[in-house]
Amino acid sequence: MPESEKPAATPAKKSNGDNDTLMGVLAYLGILFLIPLLAAKDSDFAQFHAKQGMTLFGLEVILYVVQFLLGIMLLAGGFGVFAFVSLILWLVWIGVLVLAIVGIVNVVNKKKEPLPVIGGINLMK
Protein backbone atom coordinates (compact mmCIF):
# COMPACT_ATOMS: atom_id res chain seq x y z
CA MET A 1 0.00 0.00 0.00
CA PRO A 2 1.55 3.36 -1.00
CA GLU A 3 2.17 6.00 1.65
CA SER A 4 -0.49 8.33 0.19
CA GLU A 5 -3.24 5.72 0.61
CA LYS A 6 -2.60 4.98 4.28
CA PRO A 7 -5.18 6.46 6.66
CA ALA A 8 -4.00 9.46 8.62
CA ALA A 9 -2.98 8.70 12.17
CA THR A 10 -5.46 9.93 14.73
CA PRO A 11 -4.07 11.87 17.64
CA ALA A 12 -3.93 9.95 20.88
CA LYS A 13 -6.62 10.83 23.38
CA LYS A 14 -5.57 12.07 26.76
CA SER A 15 -5.69 9.34 29.29
CA ASN A 16 -7.95 9.73 32.30
CA GLY A 17 -4.77 10.08 34.37
CA ASP A 18 -3.80 13.26 32.52
CA ASN A 19 -7.27 14.68 33.05
CA ASP A 20 -7.17 13.70 36.74
CA THR A 21 -3.83 15.45 37.12
CA LEU A 22 -5.12 18.63 35.48
CA MET A 23 -8.28 18.58 37.59
CA GLY A 24 -6.26 17.91 40.73
CA VAL A 25 -3.94 20.84 40.10
CA LEU A 26 -6.89 23.16 39.42
CA ALA A 27 -8.35 22.13 42.78
CA TYR A 28 -5.60 24.00 44.62
CA LEU A 29 -5.86 27.26 42.66
CA GLY A 30 -8.41 29.23 44.66
CA ILE A 31 -11.99 29.18 43.43
CA LEU A 32 -10.96 26.95 40.53
CA PHE A 33 -11.62 24.01 42.87
CA LEU A 34 -15.16 24.25 41.47
CA ILE A 35 -14.04 22.98 38.06
CA PRO A 36 -13.00 19.48 39.19
CA LEU A 37 -15.78 19.41 41.78
CA LEU A 38 -18.42 19.91 39.08
CA ALA A 39 -16.74 18.55 35.94
CA ALA A 40 -15.02 15.40 37.22
CA LYS A 41 -17.74 13.79 39.31
CA ASP A 42 -16.76 10.33 38.12
CA SER A 43 -13.15 10.59 39.33
CA ASP A 44 -12.53 9.78 42.99
CA PHE A 45 -9.03 11.25 42.67
CA ALA A 46 -10.23 14.60 41.31
CA GLN A 47 -13.09 14.76 43.83
CA PHE A 48 -10.73 14.09 46.74
CA HIS A 49 -8.43 16.92 45.69
CA ALA A 50 -11.35 19.23 44.87
CA LYS A 51 -12.64 18.78 48.42
CA GLN A 52 -9.17 19.44 49.83
CA GLY A 53 -8.98 22.54 47.62
CA MET A 54 -12.40 23.65 48.85
CA THR A 55 -11.18 23.45 52.45
CA LEU A 56 -8.09 25.47 51.52
CA PHE A 57 -10.26 28.03 49.71
CA GLY A 58 -12.48 28.31 52.80
CA LEU A 59 -9.39 29.15 54.85
CA GLU A 60 -8.41 31.75 52.24
CA VAL A 61 -11.84 33.41 52.45
CA ILE A 62 -11.64 33.54 56.24
CA LEU A 63 -8.18 35.10 56.01
CA TYR A 64 -9.40 37.68 53.50
CA VAL A 65 -12.26 38.73 55.79
CA VAL A 66 -10.07 38.90 58.90
CA GLN A 67 -7.40 40.84 57.06
CA PHE A 68 -9.98 43.26 55.64
CA LEU A 69 -11.43 43.90 59.09
CA LEU A 70 -7.95 44.40 60.53
CA GLY A 71 -7.21 46.88 57.75
CA ILE A 72 -10.29 48.89 58.69
CA MET A 73 -9.25 48.86 62.33
CA LEU A 74 -5.73 49.98 61.42
CA LEU A 75 -7.14 52.87 59.40
CA ALA A 76 -9.31 53.83 62.34
CA GLY A 77 -6.19 54.41 64.38
CA GLY A 78 -5.62 51.27 66.41
CA PHE A 79 -2.15 50.50 65.13
CA GLY A 80 -0.45 48.59 67.99
CA VAL A 81 -1.87 45.11 68.42
CA PHE A 82 -3.55 45.03 65.02
CA ALA A 83 -0.24 45.57 63.23
CA PHE A 84 1.21 42.56 65.04
CA VAL A 85 -1.83 40.42 64.22
CA SER A 86 -1.62 41.57 60.60
CA LEU A 87 1.98 40.39 60.47
CA ILE A 88 0.92 37.02 61.85
CA LEU A 89 -1.78 36.80 59.17
CA TRP A 90 0.82 37.33 56.44
CA LEU A 91 2.75 34.40 57.89
CA VAL A 92 -0.44 32.34 57.75
CA TRP A 93 -0.79 33.35 54.06
CA ILE A 94 2.65 31.88 53.45
CA GLY A 95 1.38 28.71 55.12
CA VAL A 96 -1.62 28.68 52.77
CA LEU A 97 0.73 28.94 49.80
CA VAL A 98 2.80 26.06 51.18
CA LEU A 99 -0.38 23.96 51.61
CA ALA A 100 -1.36 24.63 47.99
CA ILE A 101 2.10 23.56 46.83
CA VAL A 102 1.91 20.40 48.96
CA GLY A 103 -1.48 19.61 47.42
CA ILE A 104 -0.18 20.10 43.88
CA VAL A 105 2.86 17.93 44.61
CA ASN A 106 0.51 15.20 45.91
CA VAL A 107 -1.53 15.44 42.70
CA VAL A 108 1.53 15.19 40.47
CA ASN A 109 2.74 12.18 42.49
CA LYS A 110 -0.75 10.58 42.17
CA LYS A 111 -1.27 10.55 45.96
CA LYS A 112 -4.56 10.98 47.79
CA GLU A 113 -3.09 12.37 51.00
CA PRO A 114 -4.90 14.98 53.10
CA LEU A 115 -3.24 18.35 53.49
CA PRO A 116 -1.32 18.89 56.72
CA VAL A 117 -3.24 20.70 59.51
CA ILE A 118 -6.48 21.33 57.56
CA GLY A 119 -6.80 18.11 55.55
CA GLY A 120 -9.07 16.46 58.10
CA ILE A 121 -11.71 19.18 57.79
CA ASN A 122 -14.53 18.07 55.49
CA LEU A 123 -16.76 20.84 54.22
CA MET A 124 -18.66 18.43 51.98
CA LYS A 125 -19.32 14.71 52.10
The residue type of 29 is L
pLDDT at 65 (0 to 100): 93
pLDDT at 90 (0 to 100): 87
Which sequence spans correspond to the domains of the chain?
Answer: 15-108
- DSSP 3-state of 114: coil
The residue type of 83 is A
Report d(CA 108, CA 89) in Å as an integer. Answer: 29
- DSSP 3-state of 112: coil
Whether 46 contacts 40, CB under 8 Å: yes
Mean pLDDT by groups of 10 residues along the chain of 125 residues: 50 60 95 94 94 95 89 72 78 95 96 91 76
pLDDT at 116 (0 to 100): 93
